[in-house]
Structure 1
Amino acid sequence: MKKIVFTLLSAFAISQVSAQEKVYFTSTPSLSPDAKTVYFSYDGDIWSTDINGGNASRITALEGEEINPRVSPDGKWLAFSSNQYGNYDIYVMPINGGQIKQLTFHQAKDEVESWSWDSKSIYFTSNQNNGFGSFKINLDGKTPEALFTNYFNTTNGLVETPQGEYIFTNSSESASQVTRKRYKGENNPDLLGYNPTTKSYKQYTDYNGKDFNPTVDKNGIIYFISDENNGEYNLYQLANGKKEALTKFETSIKKPFVSADGSKVVFEKDYQLFVYDVKAKTSKPLTINVNSNKSLEKEQNFEVENNIDYFDISPDGKKMAFVSRGIIFVSDNEGKFINQISDGKERVLEVKWLKDNKNLIFNQTYKGYQNWFKISAEGKGKVEQLTSDLRNNRDITFNNDLSQAVYLSGRDEVRLLDLKSLKSSTIVKDEIWAFQNSKPSFSPNDEYVLFSAKRNFELDIFIHNIKKNTTVNLTNTGVSEADPTWSPDGKYIYFSSDRKNPSYPLGMQESSIYRASLDWFDQAYKSEKFDNLFVEEKKVEKKEKKEEKNDFKALTINPEGFLERIELVTDRFGYQTNPFVFTDDKKQFLFYNTNQENGKFQLHRKTTTDFEEDKTDKIFNKGADFIVKNEKNLYALIDNSVYKFGISSTNPEKVSIKYNFNKNLASEFNQMYEEAWAGVEENFYDENFHGIDWKAKKEQYATFLPYVNNRNDLRILLNDMLGELNSSHLGFSSFGKEESRRLNYFTNETGIIFKKDQPFTVEKILRKSPAFLKNVDVQEGDILVSVNGQKIDQNQNRETYFTTPKKLEELTLEFDRKGKTISTKIHPISNNELKSLLYDEWIYENRQRVKKLSNDRIAYSYMKNMSTSELDVFLLDMVEQENRKDGVILDLRFNTGGNVHDKVLNFLSQRPYLKWKYREGQLTVQPNFAPSGKPIVLLINEYSLSDAEMTAAGFKALKLGKIIGQETYRWIIFTSGKGLVDGSFYRLPSWGTYTLDGQNLEKTGVKPDIYIKNTFLDRLENKDPQLERAIQEVMKELK
């Protein structure tokens, strides 16, 4: 184990941030009991400084991040969390220096919250058993214990009062969604209290907003965060039951911590530390100096090999331009001689060669948006900016004589780019959407532009006559026809589609490649081919042949009957997409991706020749992003590498491109910030941005970009900015190789539940777990004495025996069973699998409750989310129960959403419409399953979110039954996302959801018909008033 570092680091080795330069991204602060010393996290380490500021001392220097320093009330110990082994664990060390001791070992995320007042125990929040919950571990390092039962008592931020009461919150808005500001809804966090000795429970605040992050002094005064006054997080106190605002900042605070003596409160504000003087009732920033190692500006080395995002081959076939990590490179067509062309300060996404083989057109971010630029392929001369739009210009295609380009712009424009004047013009304004597009293209004679636009969320195929400036919708079907492309002879349009089902909300579930002829063309005649055998060919020069090859006659386009001329081209098995069509020697080649062989996408080719059977071949064992053709070869981007192959070959050859380049993360982070902001600006579902000045927020948070020290700071900054929108389905995630850990650990779970007070004694066996299986000999009351031959020390943390560098295939456990040693083997599972089984146990207990209280007359189905896998669970529940039960309860409490609302509602809407029977048999209704002919109750609560809210709204609109529980979360915007230059990702909530009378569900949620609240105490005592009321309502209708 790496030991603590106490040192006055050499001023020659490490630069010191002076008093004149403020220190930012100091976080998770706390105070010594006497309020004389401040402890905080900065640049991944724990530091301390005087309460009046000055020079700070680095306390830890472990690999990874150390956060949440907390000093014991007796002032002797410092606890903190560190992810040096991949996940956050709890550590403790003497306050005056010495050996660091690791207390928790489970692979879960353990974050220190506070100490007990006797300085013997540490409280922490962990996702070991569920989403998150409160735990306690003693200073001696024995096995930690969960403080509360029930899978959905997801408590967080727990502190202990001097009287022994626990103060905490029980909401995701105070845990994983802290950055979301101004949320008001049923899931708002309130301060709750529970006394483990007296078993008394109390709700301390009931404001319809956010009250969270409690901290308590020795007098029992509670300090916490609330946004009640102005929508910003400010410091409040709760004394004698009265809530009082202590600050009125216009920007939010974070992470308040009161000293044990109650004299000072330290907190974060604007990424700096502030101290509130309780007696003087004043706040001031803490000015500190730190010895910091500014490494973000240092150049890092990257490789282009297997990291190519886009490429193009020059018209002469000799050169290649490609993009890697947002930078343009140019090489010969074999990838041997490479030169970096762009500087990498902005992100390049697409690059195309101009006709002269010397210049490139590319799109690069400008103020965060993709715009078009021109640059010399030799890397000489200045960059010429062609557009300066505050919208994303993308998906460019050149015409056949390389005189014009077509591209998409923003949410609503198709544009032409004249490749001589380099001027753009808009030819179509329509509902394009600003991402997830099919690429536009030119007809083979360059007369038409083929593009896609949205109708009722589905892609239709359009053609635009450039000269006549007319546009025709060829499909207009109500389902999506995606990826349209011309056949080189101009007779067909190929596309991918699931022709019977819309692609929203589930996405295109089945896809095949189709083609439609542009008129009622006849097939070739064999007799004409025979006659041509005796026609002498006129000899022409090679140059003339080449010119004649591109001399297309006017295309024939007959929109009438277009849908009737659609024909299936590929097999119906599997999923086919991304058609690319080429011709060569009177043969037509269709390349496409399909997963029909083994479930993984592979590149296939279908060859069509007059008077011959079509032939289909597998070309490569991976799918292609796109394919380009030059005179001799095809080139494809496959798995971030360029492959070359002949049009008739089945053996693509990887073009070996090896080159290293340098780039610094500071510059890259600045570009990513701009691009993420612009992406949200262009795609956020509400053009009024929930009443926030989005541009002003960009400027506000950009002032802190120069002080970002590492990737974690960037994550904090961007998520804070996104949180200003008070929106669901937002977030920025990022991981870099610099954050990789040398050591990671895995906890081998068994499904054995041990007793709280006897952590090595079996309390019960979890249903369906490895320990539940018949061949495993474990019983309640058994005492664990050995794991894989290692004898148990009951003074040790039990987690140490089950946590290993990687998952074990099997465990050998020995138990003491009433004096007899029992040995058994178990196949362990992951912690996520264990949590899923704990969730299943909660569902099982609900089902048993329904069965008992309804005398087995009610079908009960629970959906964890609205995914296709949970849809299958629901349908199987109905198949197994509905036709033999008298009523139905569908439970969507704690449901985390998805996109199958339509499928669920359609099933529930089925009503009986007739009966039939075999001779002398029993009459049976049609359809087989007709739940709508029976009483149905839908259960919802404050955690029902996203598509669960869509389902509840639809259930109410269709009047399918009663809704019981609490109002839903108000977390419903359909979302997607975009990647950034380094692989980071940000979410884009782009599609709002509204009731038939226009209410925005993100703002209103869905209210139940009968309001019943389940409290923390109900769950703790294994009570479920909501479910019991649902049973009562169904039974009432059955009388």
Structure 2
Amino acid sequence: EDGRELGLWRVDVANGAVEVVFNAGDASLRNPNISADGSKVVAELGAGLVLIDTIDGSTSRLPVFGSFDPSVAEQYNKTVSSDAKDLAVSPDGESVAFVSGGDIYVLRKHDKIQRCARVSTNPAPDYSPVWIEDGEALLFVSERDGNGEFYRAKPVRDDLPFYRAVDFEITRLTETSVDESAPALSPDGKRMAWARGPGELVVGSPLTFEIERVLYSGFEAPSFEWAPDSRWLAWSAVNDDFNYDIFIGRADQDFTPFNLTTHPDDDTNPHWSPDGRKLAFTSRRQMLDETDVWVAWLNRDDAEMSERERLEAAEAKQLAKEEEEKKKKELKKKDENKDEPAEEGEEEEDDGEEEPVLVEIDFSDLSLRLRRLTKFEANEKALGWSHDSEKVYFNVSQGTRLTSGTSGEKGFFEVDIWDRETDELESETISSLVLVDKTVFYVKKGKIVGREEKAETYPFSVRVREDRPALRAAIIDEGWRALDRMFYDPEFHGHDWAASLAKWRPLAASASTAEDFSVSMNWMLGEMNASHMGFYGGGKSEAKETDKQITGALGVIWDDQHQGAGRKVAEVIKGMPAARANSALAVGDIVLSVNSISYVVGENWARLMLATAGEECFLKVVNAAGEEREVAIRPSAWSAVRKALYTRKVEMARAKVETESAGNLGYIHIEGMGQSSLLEFERDLFRAASGKSALLIDVRENGGGWTTDMVLAMLMVKNHAITIPRGGGVGYPQGRRIFATWDKPIVVLCNENSYSNAEIFSWSIKTLGRGPVVGKKTYGAVISTGAAHLLDGSYVRLPFRGWYVNNAERTNMELNGCPPDYPVENLPGDFSAGIDRQLDKAIAVGLDLIAG
């Protein structure tokens, strides 16, 4: 935002002045490495290397010569036997279509005979198979022509079922300017529903795809399901406040969609019962962000029946069914005794088909006829119904934003809708559930399972030939398309996004290793100049066997001025191995050897500590009096040291604030905007702020998260009343509040490494006028991000929602950091000197607030 040129820069340690060394222009300068004397830097530039003179900025290209053997084969065979998803069972129940690795497959549903065919082979992703034409053909979505469009697949030989066919005729059915996706054929086969573009739900002809009506239009396509009578659909749609509700609409006539749930928290995953009388869904309407399975009674009678009435009605229905079957048997016996066919008006033998379901909905007070079915201490997600409409299938998983790290039940369950008794069906969660007759199909750990009375796995194994460069080209195209469709700014920050693909696609497709491919992908994404971006999961090409050892740490700060043998302890870090009573080191101790290996001055200390984390080690130590001893110690991993050093830094800052403010100011540092830091902040409101007149809240070096609004809930509350117990003083019952609160003055510290939600917090304090902000402008990296998963299992982060300051200008927080009220620069040399100019200023500002 300061208009700096891209390239190599240098900064003066003493005064912070900066100057450019080399301007890279439109090229990408990467991975610089400086020479020992500081005079030269070598770096990647575009697809080559450049040597930069740090004195005069002159450059020269470094040609690279040689040849190499690829670390991975460009063409290779692989066996597809897992990673199934998107199940679709044929009308006759004998074939199962599914997706694996971006291709369509069909297997024969047989417990002993294994047959499976690969239907689509294009490198681009194919998905969402749907059986059409009474099971004679498959409809699916493909991105092979640069857009999500519908295609039809059919065996070239009409006499072969899909699972025995080798060749397939693939025909493109749609050609539109937007993506078509999520096709779903109505149960009667007369209509198709699908998602169109980024956020439309439409219904139309399954033959021509001519749209009859648009049921929903928004910025995100809803998840939806057909009712069993093919007249109704239910869908979950999001509003501008990112709240999801369940809606019901008609496919066959104009009808204003009905909001079933009308709740200010998420309601998703609608599923019709086979009898058309109930709708199950997932709801987040309890505390702690947990989700449960709920059911809506579409008919008032069902909701109002007592258990006795329900059982009696079920009994009467069963008796009527038995009576009907008895009459049919008598008719059949009568017909068998006749020599001629039945006369006009006389019933013929019934074909055994059940009467079609007709969904009738009583909308009066429907939003009040909702019942909670599950009450696990976990997240439950509705998946579908049993064939008799008596049970709902659901997944159970652990952990929400507020309950991360918890343990408990998980897996695939069913719940009885009447007595709410639950049964575990699988110990792992499942996906892609489909009900066909009395059998429910699903995917468990990438395998296809069918369950009626018991679970039965249907294995598949197909040998395929892969072209790695073609696959990589398809992956980079898919990742580019995801951002092209969904990036929050349609102008891409003023960048030519198509030019980035043209620039990086050849390099990515020809990458010799997975790591090089990932680098190319990430540099393409980086040209958008946006935060919260990245390509992940691209794989590794390193050897299967590597020597990876964890370097141990004693938990001390060494005296860098020590000139003699060994290493001298300058400080012992609290909570670390060297601070424990049975392995204590002291200031002034000199460590001469580790496990009988002497330390030689100037050599690499880390080599002595290699593979010692968590293992007992023996140190030869000499104290300040010259006395030698052996210390048995169990070093920790460096992650523990980093945490201990963070705690040390916070305690030093807190002590400084309390000392220089004569105990009038409290100090809290928020490490991150997540659950653990949120709980720590609430504790610190008592531990560090109690009895203080003002509070310094430090979000420097805070990488972000999601808790700004919860922190504000602690800082923005005013007492509407007070309480006074007999014999006590003025107060307010803490148990009546969601969080502890602080309503006295605050000062917030931020800097250029305050990121994402830490920036939203800094902006919120300024916008709401809660207190002054001290430090340096924040990074300017504020976007809500999700993920787009790619056909090989990798993914790109997908910034889909921008954040704007609620001011007259609606300042975009992305690329526009929060400017402090009191700008203060910490110079590069300040840290090693123990100077914190920003904290010093915050103390002065806080004292001024107290003085009034």
Judging changes above 3 Å, is the alpha-carbon distance between structure 1 residues 643 and 919 closer, same or farther for their aligned structure 2 residues? same
- CA contact under 8 A between 1:484 and 1:493: conserved in structure 2? yes
What is the CA-CA distance between 1:835 and the residue it aligns to?
Answer: 1.9
- Pick from 719, 729, 751: which aligns with 2:555? 751
CA distance in 2, matches of 1:616, 1:255: 56
Q: 1:590 to 1:632 in 2, by over 3 A?
A: closer
User: Which amino acid letter does the alignment assign opposite residue 745 of structure 1?
Assistant: Q
Q: Match for 2:804: what amino acid?
A: Y
Matched to 1:387, the amino acid is: T
Q: Which residue of 1 aligns with 2:228?
A: 444
Q: 1:325 aligns with which of 92, 101, 109?
A: 101
Is 2:359 aligned against 1:549?
no
Query: Which of these residues, 102, 105, 115, is aligned with residue 337 of structure 1?
Result: 115
Please tell me whether residue 771 in structure 1 is matched to residue 556 in structure 2: no
Cα distance in 1 for partners of 2:745, 2:52 equals 58
> Which position in structure 1 is the counterpart of 2:744?
934
The DSSP-based 3-state class of the residue aligned with 2:814 is helix
Please state how far the C-alpha of 1:458 moved relative to its aligned partner: 1.0
Report the CA distance shift for 1:566/1:1010 in structure 2 as closer, same or farther (over 3 A). same
Which residue pairs with 1:994 in the alignment?
Answer: 804
2:414 counterpart residue number: 605
**Residue 208 of structure 2 corresponds to residue 430 of structure 1:** no
Quick check: 1:901–1:947 contact (8 Å CA) kept in 2?
yes
Report the residue type matching 1:468 in the other structure: Q
The number of residues matched between the two structures is 797
Shift of residue 344 of structure 1?
A: 4.3
1: CA distance, partners of 2:315 / 2:71: 75
CA contact (8 A) 2:267 2:282 kept: yes
Deviations 1:419-438 (A, max 9, x none): 3446566623422526xx6x
Q: Which among 414, 418, 427 is matched to residue 621 of structure 1?
A: 427
| Residues 808-841 of structure 1: CA deviation (Å, up to 9, x unaligned) | 4443434233554433443433222322222222
Determine the structure 1 residue equivalent to 2:336: none
Looking at structure 1, the residues matched to 797 and 729 of structure 2 have their Cα atoms a distance apart, in angstroms, of 54
1:662 to 443, 455, 465: 465
Letter matched to residue 569 of structure 1: L
* Counterparts of residues 947-1026 of structure 1 (less than 5 Å): 947-997=757-807, 998-1026=810-838
Q: Secondary structure at the match of 1:775?
A: helix
Map Cα deviations across residues 130-154 of structure 1 (whole Å, 9 max, x no partner): xxxxxxxxxxxxxxxxxxxxxxxxx
Shifted more, 447-456 versus 824-833: the winner is: 824-833
Match of 1:312 among 70, 84, 88: 88
Contact 1:258 1:264 in 2 (8 A): yes
Q: Distance in 2 between matches of 1:256 and 1:568?
A: 58
* C-alpha contact (below 8 Å) 2:522/2:534 kept by paired residues: yes
More strand by share: 1
The CA deviation at 1:745 is: 2.4
- Given that 2:383 and 2:392 are in contact with CA atoms closer than 8 Å, whether structure 1 keeps it comes out as no
Determine if the alignment matches structure 1 residue 738 to structure 2 residue 524: no
User: Where does 1:460-475 land on structure 2 (aligned, <5 Å)?
Assistant: 460-470=245-255, 471-475=257-261
| Structure 2 letter corresponding to 1:329 | Y
> Is residue 269 of structure 2 the alignment partner of residue 483 of structure 1?
yes
Amino acid of the structure 2 residue aligned with 1:340: R
* Equivalent residue number for residue 645 of structure 1: 451
1:445 is displaced (CA, Å) by 0.5
For residues 707-734 of structure 1, give each alpha carbon's deviation from its aligned partner in whole angstroms, at most 9, with x where no partner exists.
4332233222222222222111111124
Instruction: Measure the CA separation in 1 of the matches of 2:50 and 2:357.
Output: 73
- Match of 1:696, as an amino acid? A
SS of 1:803's equivalent in the other structure is coil
The answer to whether the 8 A contact 2:31-2:43 is kept is yes
Q: CA deviation at 1:791?
A: 5.1
Q: 1:394 aligns with which of 156, 164, 181?
A: 181
After superposition, the Cα gap between the structure-2 partners of 1:642 and 1:298, relative to the gap in structure 1 and judged at 3 Å, is same
Following TM superposition, by how much is the alpha carbon of 1:740 offset from its aligned partner in structure 2, in angstroms?
4.6
Change (3 A) 1:563 1:773: farther
> 1:203: Cα distance to partner?
3.1
Gap runs ≥5 in structure 2: 155-161, 333-347, 400-405
CA RMSD of aligned residues (A): 3.5
CA distance in 1, matches of 2:55, 2:680: 59
Matched, 1:225 2:44: no
Task: Quote the offset at 1:371 in angstroms.
Answer: 2.9
CA contact (8 A) 1:312 1:320 kept: yes
Residue 272 of structure 1, aligned match among 38, 45, 48 = 48
The residue number in structure 1 matching 2:342 is: none
Cα offset, 1:635, TM superposition: 1.8
Are 2:564 and 1:760 aligned?
A: no
Counterpart CA distance in 2 for 1:281 and 1:184 is 20
Q: What SS is found at the alignment partner of 1:1003?
A: coil
Q: 1:982 to 1:756 in 2, by over 3 A?
A: farther
Equivalent residue in structure 1 for 2:237, among 439, 448, 453: 453
Q: What is residue 339 of structure 2 aligned with on the other side?
A: none
Which residue does 1:290 correspond to in 2? 66
Amino acid at match of 1:733: Y
CA distance in structure 1 between the partners assigned to 2:168 and 2:174 by the alignment: 19
In structure 2, the CA distance between the partners of 1:281 and 1:895, relative to structure 1 (3 Å rule), is closer
Q: Is 1:373 the equivalent of 2:151? A: yes
- The answer to whether the 8 Å contact 1:344/1:663 transfers is no
TM-score, length-normalised on structure 2?
A: 0.85
What is the deviation of 1:440?
1.1
Q: 2 CA distance for matches of 1:582 and 1:347?
A: 32
Deviates more, 1:555-564 or 1:620-629: 555-564
8 Å CA contact 1:590, 1:607 repeated in 2: no
Counterpart check, 1:412 vs 2:199: yes
Distance across 2 between alignment mates of 1:355 and 1:829? 65
Q: Residues 777-830 of structure 1, C-alpha deviation per residue, up to 9 Å, x if partnerless?
A: 2222223244345555556422112222x9544434342335544334434332
Unaligned 5+ runs, structure 1: 1-181, 195-200, 212-223, 227-232, 235-249, 502-507
The one-letter code sitting in structure 1 at the alignment partner of 2:297 is S
Aligned mates of 1:458, 1:620 — CA distance in 2: 31
Q: CA deviation at 1:184?
A: 5.7
Q: Tell me the distance in 1 between the aligned counterparts of 2:318 and 2:273.
A: 26
Matches within 5 A, 1:20-59: none
Structure 1 residue 766: deviation in Å?
Answer: 1.6
Partner of 1:918: 725
Give, as a single letter, the amino acid of the residue that structure 1 aligns with 2:16.
Q
Alpha-carbon separation, structure 2, partners of 1:579 and 1:656: 23
- CA deviations 1:943-1002 (Å, max 9, x no partner) are 111101111121122211111111111111111112222222211111100111211111
Q: Secondary structure at the match of 1:457?
A: coil
- For 1:547 and 1:995, how far apart are their aligned partners in 2? 65
Amino acid at match of 1:599: G
Are 1:749 and 1:828, in contact at CA under 8 Å, matched by a contact in 2? yes
Amino acid paired to 1:517: W
Q: Which moved more, 1:890-899 or 1:306-315?
A: 306-315
- Quick one: distance in 2 between partners of 1:431 and 1:500? 27
Please give the alpha-carbon distance, in whole angstroms, between the structure 2 residues aligned to 1:598 and 1:680: 36
What residue in structure 2 maps to residue 716 of structure 1? 519
Matched residue, 2:159? none
Pair 296,688 (structure 1): closer, same or farther in 2 beyond 3 Å: same
Tell me the secondary structure at the aligned position of residue 98 of structure 2. strand
Shift of residue 676, structure 1, vs aligned partner: 0.6
- 2:340 counterpart residue number: none
1:251 positional shift: 4.0
The verdict on how the C-alpha distance between 1:337 and 1:749 changes in structure 2, with shifts beyond 3 A counting, is: farther
Q: How far, CA to CA, are the matches of 2:619 and 2:56 in structure 1?
A: 61
Question: CA, structure 1 residues 710+484, in 2 after alignment: closer, same or farther (shift >3 Å)?
Answer: same
Deviates more, 1:1009-1018 or 1:738-747: 738-747
Partner of 1:45: none
**Partner letter of residue 84 of structure 2?**
I
Decide which of 540, 545, 561 is 2:365's aligned counterpart: 561
